[in-house]
Amino acid sequence: MRYFENYPPVTEEKKEMTLGEEPFIHPTCVIRDSTVGAWTALYANTWLVESSFGDYSYAAGNVQIIYSEVGKYCSIANSVRINPGNHPQWRVTQHHMTYRRKHYKLSDEDDAEFFQWRRDHHCKIGHDVWIGHGVVIMPGVSIGTGAVIGSGAVVTKDIGPYEVAVGVPAKAIKKRFDDATIEKLLASAWWDWDRETLEHNFNDLLSLEVFLEKYC
């Protein structure tokens, strides 16, 4: 994975999308103190702040990810927000002047303790997760490998592996496969295949029956 402390503008030749070991990052993206894997794509106006973004994952645009870990092979639709801003509800006022104090000339220092509290509520997205359009994943939530989050959902609690969750607040309505199959898929850890193995066995990923017979 490549580490980006502060992502610079891309060169003219990189504005056309290509996928490979070098991540594709649209010139309008903002990336700070984050790592981005190979064969990834971050489309227009995506933010990635103090986060990791796994191999083969993509964000379709207008996505904001902060203080989060995104696994491999994740499909993130447009206008998703992972770990949105939080406010100090326990104070007299929850306005961000209470922690962005320098901005309002109320102090020479911002509230470092509050920002650390936000960082401590890390989000974790497993591998091969599909997150639909306009989803919001609240601070501290984990999404299991293989899960599906329906468009417009607001996820306030953890979602298990291969569960399909929808609604506000999001609730799991079914599992993609039976428990025995889920256990086998998780044990296979196919998402950790190297590129050569992926290319050689790619067609096996297109059939659940074939995959289970050969690898589980």
- Outline where DSSP puts E strands in 29-175: 30-36, 41-42, 47-49, 52-53, 58-59, 64-66, 68-70, 75-76, 81-82, 123-125, 130-131, 136-137, 142-143, 148-149, 154-155, 163-166, 171-175
Tell me, yes or no, if 121 is annotated catalytic. Answer: no
CA distances from 159 to 3, 44, 71 (A): 28, 28, 15
3-state secondary structure at position 43: coil
Amino acid occupying residue 50: E
46, 12, 15: which is closest to 31 by C-alpha?
46
Q: Which of 26, 87, 96, 133 is catalytic?
A: 87
The catalytic site residues sit at 87
